[in-house]
């Protein structure tokens, strides 16, 4: 216990509000998220959040930070499942990204749809994004060492691959991929097909199957 803080009459309103916001995103979508509703769900008055967040943007930044941490945890878990198998780590890491988007679309949207003034004002968010990026750079570097990805500055290669994965997931999520295509191919199939353009070897067909779920 780093700080034995037991404030007024709500255990930890700040985190309660973040959790409430994430729940609202899951149940009502991004359009239904309001400071007042989060306050109501946490059982406090509509002005109480202002004791912990400068404005709505600040709450959203906190929700975004938590989103990045969940993404990080998912990719890390996928990584742990395939020690010494860089190809599998790359593919399942990307799939973990997609799975988060599919399971919690509005939290994903808020997390990745920039809080605009970000960097300056929300150091925790900056740190969370840097940590995730760093993790992907590691995976990419492993793949390069194994000759699975072309030699290039790992951060540049990471930008390219992250872009491709993020773009595919976003377009699918926003319904911008034509029905014709989504009826013929699963998202996982499209993901592997796209990663296949980067990867310098054949990808085993058995990886096409969407895992558990």
Partner DNA sequence: ACCTGAACACCGTTCAAGT
Residue pair 39/45 in contact by the 8 Å Cβ criterion: yes
- Considering only residues 104 through 123, tell me which ones interact with a second copy, judged by CB under 8 A: 112-114, 116, 118-119
Residue from 23, 30, 34, 121 that binds DNA (CB under 7 A)? Answer: 34
For 5-25, letters b (16+ CB in 10 Å) and e give eeeeeeeebbebbbbbbbebb
Does residue 193 touch a second copy according to CB under 8 A?
Answer: yes
Task: Give the total of residues touching a second copy (CB under 8 A).
Answer: 39
Residue from 80, 84, 178, 213 that binds a second copy (CB under 8 A)? Answer: 178
The candidate with the shortest Cα–Cα distance to 199, out of 99, 88, 104, 87, is 87
Measured between alpha carbons, how far is 198 from 170 in angstroms, rounded to an integer?
Answer: 19
Does residue 5 touch DNA according to CB under 7 A?
Answer: yes
User: Among all chains, which residue has been given the structure tokens 């742990």?
Assistant: 80
Residue from 8, 84, 202, 206 that binds DNA (CB under 7 A)? Answer: 8
C-beta of 15 vs 186, nearer to DNA:
15
**Interface residue list for DNA (CB under 7 A):** 5, 7-10, 13, 33-37, 39, 44-48, 50-52, 55-57
């Amino acid at each position: 216990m780093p700080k034995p803080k037991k404030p007024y009459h709500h255990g930890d309103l700040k985190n309660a509000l973040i959790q409430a916001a994430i729940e609202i995103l899951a149940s009502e979508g991004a359009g239904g998220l309001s400071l007042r509703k989060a306050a109501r769900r946490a059982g406090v008055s509509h002005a109480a959040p202002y004791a912990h967040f400068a404005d709505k943007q600040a709450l959203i930044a906190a929700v975004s930070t938590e989103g990045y941490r969940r993404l990080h945890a998912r990719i890390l878990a996928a990584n742990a499942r395939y020690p010494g198998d860089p190809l599998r780590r790359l593919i399942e890491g990307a799939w973990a990204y997609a799975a988060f988007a599919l399971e919690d679309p509005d939290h994903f949207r808020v997390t990745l749809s920039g809080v605009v003034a970000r960097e300056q004002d929300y150091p925790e968010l900056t740190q969370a994004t840097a940590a995730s990026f760093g993790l992907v750079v590691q995976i990419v570097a492993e793949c390069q060492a194994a000759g699975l990805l072309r030699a290039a500055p790992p951060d540049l290669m990471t930008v390219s691959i992250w872009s491709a994965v993020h773009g595919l997931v976003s377009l699918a999520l926003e319904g911008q991929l034509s029905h014709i295509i989504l009826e013929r191919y699963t998202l996982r199939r499209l993901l592997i097909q796209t990663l296949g353009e980067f990867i310098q070897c054949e990808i085993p067909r058995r990886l096409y199957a969407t895992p558990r779920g």
